[in-house]
Amino acid sequence: MKILLTGAAGFIGAHVAEKLLMEGNEVIGIDCVNAYYDPSLKFARLSRLGISSESEQWSKPILSDKWPLFTFIRMDISDKEAMKAIFEEGKFDVVVHLAAQPGVRYSITHPQSYIENNINGFLNILEGCRKTNIKHLVFASSSSVYGLNGQIPFSEKHSIAHPVSLYAATKKSNELMAHAYSYIFRIPITGLRFFTVYGPWGRPDMSPFLFIDGIMNGKTIKVFNNGDMLRDFTYIDDITESIARIVKVIPTSNNNWDSMAADPSCSSAPYKIYNVGNQQPTKLLDYISAIEEIIGKKAIKEMHPMQPGDVYQTYADSSALAQATGFRPSVSLRDGIKKTVEWFKAYYNL
């Protein structure tokens, strides 16, 4: 297939690019490589994919010197004209849309970035898919959409009516926008709700990276809600495998869908939503203890109250994903942390 991959320099995107290329697909990767966190990490991910330092130039297609079927273009999904052009020229079979402005807490202080990237940018993706008859759009949603939902484990059939951060609200909006386009224009669209992704090459603003960095370097780590939180940590290889498989599972209209007892995970449109999580929620203090054990060093903890926009618990029901793909995230927390710590030491020469 010929695949447009947005967010190709990102944590998940760079791993997905490699996986799709290993399967023999042609991949056009785009990313604006913004400064939300250190761009050098993003360029390092691109370097692993065989993309030279020329990737710093805007709008210039750069061929990988490692993967003959990989091309990278630095561009912004919120640039309407640039996105229109790449869709018209690309003639893609599939779009894997991972680019977004991430971060729950950042959305409190920088709301405009979320509207520009997650709403306007996503609209450009949908318009591109509509006008070029894309066979399948797969996009990243988030477990954050569950918000105040108290039912556990979180199921795609549950309500997402009460998000508690603007980030979550934009991801919920993406799901609603996607359904509207799928219904009106019959575009096959799949949304994936990721649960606390971690692993090598991870984002430095996320707790797994912050905790490893803090413990390794003897810095204080902030522990919110005094450690009384649970997260369904999902290793990056499980996320990557899930995406690669779901690309091939093109949704169709559910002819048995009942509007009087509506299942929000699907509809009479060719539209589907899946959770992608490990199904093993871990207490935050237990997670820190596991990192301490693997590193062989105690954390210096600084306890804080729950932060605005945070939720107490995430816990995925990934049975629908398993039924659709034959795959369920399963990398153990200990194995995942061990591989992440090994990468961290190697990358930072520790």
Question: By the 8 A CB rule, do 160 and 264 touch?
Answer: yes
Strand ranges inside the chain, DSSP E: 2-6, 26-31, 62-63, 70-74, 94-97, 136-142, 189-194, 197-198, 220-224, 230-231, 234-235, 271-276, 282-283, 300-304
Distance CA(161)–CA(153), nearest Å, equals 17
Give the angle subtended at the CA of 328 by the CAs of 326 and 330, to the nearest 5°.
140
Q: One of 36, 167, 271, 274 is an active-site residue; which one?
A: 167
Count of positions (residues) in the chain: 350
Give just the sign of the alpha carbon dihedral 281, 284, 285, 290: positive
Torsion-angle region of 38 (φ positive above 0: left; ψ -120 to 50: alpha; else: beta): beta
CA 214 to chain centre: 24
- Tell me the sheet residues that pair with 58: 74
Count the helices and strands in the chain (H runs, E runs).
Answer: 12, 14
Give the angle subtended at the CA of 22 by the CAs of 90 and 246, to the nearest 5°.
70
Question: By the 8 A CB rule, do 173 and 337 touch?
Answer: no
Strand pairing class (62-63; 70-74):
antiparallel
Q: DSSP string covering 47-114, please?
A: HHTT--GGGGSBT--EE-SS-TTEEEEE--TT-HHHHHHHHHHH--SEEEE------TTHHHH-HHHH
Distance CA(23)–CA(153), nearest Å, equals 33
214 vs 50, 223, 244, CA distance in Å?
31, 12, 33
Q: Is 37 tagged catalytic?
A: no
Active site residues: 167
